[in-house]
Every structure is written in structure tokens, then in C-alpha cells.
Structure 1
């Protein structure tokens, strides 16, 4: 059984995306990234991306992560905040910690495509 099926399929992904974006939009650090974004379209892309990434039958046809996030100046702390909100969303929806870890393992490699602001020392 895929992760997609184990968490409840399309309904669970939709609930997760809705809760996730509510969290992101209420976070003062992250909300500015979404100021001029068509959220309905973005949520649709996010649902398709997650469904495909988690083993659902859907095919993600959006841009690759580097292209989708180019020019947004996303830093390490921004990425980490998004991860925190995703974990909180999944935990709140009753997804087992082991499954959350598996999802994190699938998404963690995207950090290098999404984070575009170099770490300063």
C-alpha cells in the first residue's frame, strides 16, 4: 500500500493541503511569499504534487521545484518553517509519526531546489 493510500487518498491530501496553507498564510515569516499568488491554483498544484509524490495514481504536470521557486529568495529558515507546518498539519490529521518521517524523506531532497538564498557566515 502506498503512503497516499495509507493516509486516506485524495480526501486526506485535500484536507492536508487546506490546513497546510492556512498555517502558512497565518505565519508572518511565510505569508509574504503568497501575497500575489493565486491560492486556488497553487493548492491544486500542491494536491497533484503531493498525490504523485506519495504514490497516488495522479501525474504531476507542474513545473519542477527549482523553476517553481526561482526568484522567491527562500532561505533555510523559511524552508524549515514550512517543514514545521507540514509536520504539524500531518500530526493534526492523525498521520502516524513513522509515515510523517517517510513523507519527510521523500520531500527533504527538494531543499536544494527550493532554497535559493545562500547561508551567510
Structure 2
């Protein structure tokens, strides 16, 4: 069984993305990155990206991570804050710790494509 299936499929991914963005947009350090961003469109891309990354049948057709984050000057601290919000979101939805670790392992290699500031 894929991680996607084990957490409840599309409804679980959708709930996670919604909660995640409540947390991220409520974070005063991260919120400025989203000024002027079409958040509903971003959420749709995020749902497809996460689903594809954890074994769902969705196809992510968005930009690659480097292109999507170019010029944003994202720091390691910002990346870590986003990961923290994701972990809190998943834990709050009852996702087992082991599964959260597997999801983190699938997403951790993206740091080099997202962090653009020293």
C-alpha cells in the first residue's frame, strides 16, 4: 500500500493542504512569500504535487521546484519552518509518525531546489 493510500487518498491530501496553508499563511515570517499569489491555484498544484510524491495517481504538471522558487530568496530557516508546518499538519490529522517520516524523506531532497538564499 502506498503512503497516499495509507493516509486516506485524495480527501486526506486535500485536508492536509488546506490546513497546511492556514498554518503557513498565518506565519508572519512566511506569509510575505505569498503576497499576490493565487492561493487556490497554488493549493491545487500542491495537492497534485504531494499526491504524486507519495504514490497517488495524480500527475503533477506544474513547474519544477527550482523554477517555481527562483528569485524568492528562500532561506534554510524558511524551508525548515515550512517543513515544521507540514509535520504539525500531518500530526494534527492523525498521520502516524512513521508515515510522517516517510513523507519527509520523500520531500527532503527538494531543499536544494527550493533554498536560494544564503
Shift of 1:67: 0.4
Q: Within 2, Cα distance between the matches of 1:25 and 1:64?
A: 22
Over aligned residues, Cα RMSD in angstroms?
Answer: 0.4
- Calculate the TM-score normalised by the size of structure 1: 0.97
* Structure 2: gaps (5+ residues): none
Which residue of structure 2 aligns with residue 12 of structure 1? 12
Which residue of structure 2 aligns with residue 59 of structure 1? 59
Shift of 1:16: 0.1
Count of aligned pairs: 118
Answering whether residue 34 of structure 2 is matched by residue 31 of structure 1, we say no
Q: Within 1, Cα distance between the matches of 2:100 and 2:51?
A: 14
Which residue of structure 2 aligns with residue 103 of structure 1? 103
Which residue of structure 1 aligns with residue 77 of structure 2? 77
Shift of 1:8: 0.2
Which residue of structure 1 aligns with residue 114 of structure 2? 114
Q: Within 2, Cα distance between the matches of 1:58 and 1:38?
A: 21
Name segments (4+ residues, structure 1) moved above 3 Å.
none
**1:46-85 deviation line (CA, Å, top 9, x unaligned):** 0000000010011111000000000001001000000000
